Amino acid sequence: MRPFVKWPGGKALLLPELRQRMPKSIGTYVEPFAGGAALFFDRQPQQALLNDANPKLMNLYIQVRDHKSELVGRLASYETEYNTLTTISAKQDFYYQSRSIFNSRDFETNLTVLDAARFVFINKSCFNGLYRENKAGQFNAAFGWKSNIILYDEDNLTDCSSALQDALIMSGDFEDACRDLTAGDFVFFDPPYDSTFDAYQGNGFSKEDQKRLCRLFQSLTERGVYCMLSNSNTEFIAGLYSGYSFEKVSAKRMINRNGNGREGEELIITNY
Ligand SMILES: C[S@@+](CC[C@H](N)C(=O)[O-])C[C@H]1O[C@@H](n2cnc3c(N)ncnc32)[C@H](O)[C@@H]1O
């Protein structure tokens, strides 16, 4: 089973490192910065809470959990419509039209299965296949020039839907997602990277947010909640978490807009 969205900062390559550092036995499994939730789908915990500040992404999780068959139907229609257009300029028009409808939706209320299907469509047909928003929260990736697209793997979606059946899915700030956790629960924090690279400056996650997260890490530690956090290996992050055990691991990350991979070092910090 693997994530159904390709998400910036996805943890697929780091899974072996993360898996081996998880506690053996846990209460509720929590990802406050879910993104593609690679570790969740890898582990398939019984009891889980998934949260991300992006409501459009979390709507997709809800639709996969609750309306998988209808979603598959919509994705199949999108796929056929796009793939049967005969010219690349017609595909380009179709992409920008869908993107514009997507950006005109009010994501605070009433998200539907069609919004979720449109989200997958633009995510898979945009440049680099990577979701990207501007400061106003509008999806702004350019057309990806693909002549054919595959929007879903039905078996994988079915497995993901099963894994999500008992999961609580939220969209909001990471602190709210962690409010009710108790001793023995496990949180995997995968926040936007602390970075000096330009491509990550627009992520809206400031140094102050990193400090706020560190304070939450501290208070969860005091409450007996297991915490594991990954972040880039910067002096700032190493300084914030200097009281905890941390290890450096090598991570191949996609941080450049042109899609060139770049080797980076990542920290995995635990409070146990
Ligand atoms: C590095 S990505 C997570 C990658 C993910 N673990 C994966 O495997 O694909 C960070 C996520 O944090 C989310 N985010 C940013 N600020 C947030 C906040 N204040 N509270 C919760 N989520 C936030 C972003 O929307 C983004 O999806």
Regarding the beta carbon of 174 and ligand 1, being less than 6 Å apart is answered yes
Alpha-carbon gap, residue 261 to 122, rounded angstroms: 22
Regarding the beta carbon of 192 and ligand 1, being less than 6 Å apart is answered yes
User: Which residue's CA is the nearest one to ligand 1's atom 27?
Assistant: 35
Record the pTM. 0.92
Question: pLDDT for 228-251, tens place per residue?
Answer: 999 999 999 999 999 999 899 986
The pLDDT of residue 136 is 83
Residue 193 CA, closest ligand 1 atom number: 1
Regarding the beta carbon of 9 and ligand 1, being less than 6 Å apart is answered yes
Alpha-carbon gap, residue 248 to 237, rounded angstroms: 12
Q: What distance in angstroms lies between residue 5's CA and the mean position of ligand 1's atoms?
A: 13
Residue 175 CA, closest ligand 1 atom number: 20
Going by C-alpha positions, the residue among 106, 117, 132 that lies closest to residue 60 is 117
Question: pLDDT for 151-176, tens place per residue?
Answer: 999 999 999 999 999 999 999 999 99
Regarding the beta carbon of 119 and ligand 1, being less than 6 Å apart is answered no
Alpha-carbon gap, residue 116 to 65, rounded angstroms: 12
Q: What distance in angstroms lies between residue 128's CA and the mean position of ligand 1's atoms?
A: 19
Question: pLDDT for 80-132, tens place per residue?
Answer: 999 999 999 999 999 999 999 999 998 777 899 999 999 999 999 999 888 88
CA distances from 153 to 11, 132, 197, 231, 270 (A): 20, 23, 34, 30, 34
DSSP string, 105-150: S-TTS---HHHHHHHHHHHHHBGGG---B-TTS-B-PPB---S---
The pLDDT of residue 197 is 53
Q: What distance in angstroms lies between residue 163's CA and the mean position of ligand 1's atoms?
A: 20
Residue tagged 């509008």 (tokens): 138
Going by C-alpha positions, the residue among 19, 258, 31 that lies closest to residue 132 is 258
Residue 11 CA, closest ligand 1 atom number: 8
Task: Please give the order of strands across the beta sheet that includes 48-51.
Answer: 168-170, 48-51, 29-31, 186-189, 226-232, 261-270, 245-254
Select from 15, 29, 52 the residue to mutate for testing ligand 1; criterion: most ligand atoms less than 8 Å from CB. 52
Domains of the chain (ranges, CATH numbers):
12-53+172-270 (3.40.50.150), 62-153 (1.10.1020.10)
Mean of the per-residue pLDDT values of the chain: 91
Q: What distance in angstroms lies between residue 88's CA and the mean position of ligand 1's atoms?
A: 33
How is residue 110 written in tokens? 């009433």
Residue 209 CA, closest ligand 1 atom number: 19
Element containing residue 205 per DSSP (H, E) = none
Element containing residue 29 per DSSP (H, E) = strand 29-31
Q: Higher pLDDT residue, 264 or 128? A: 128
Regarding the beta carbon of 11 and ligand 1, being less than 6 Å apart is answered yes
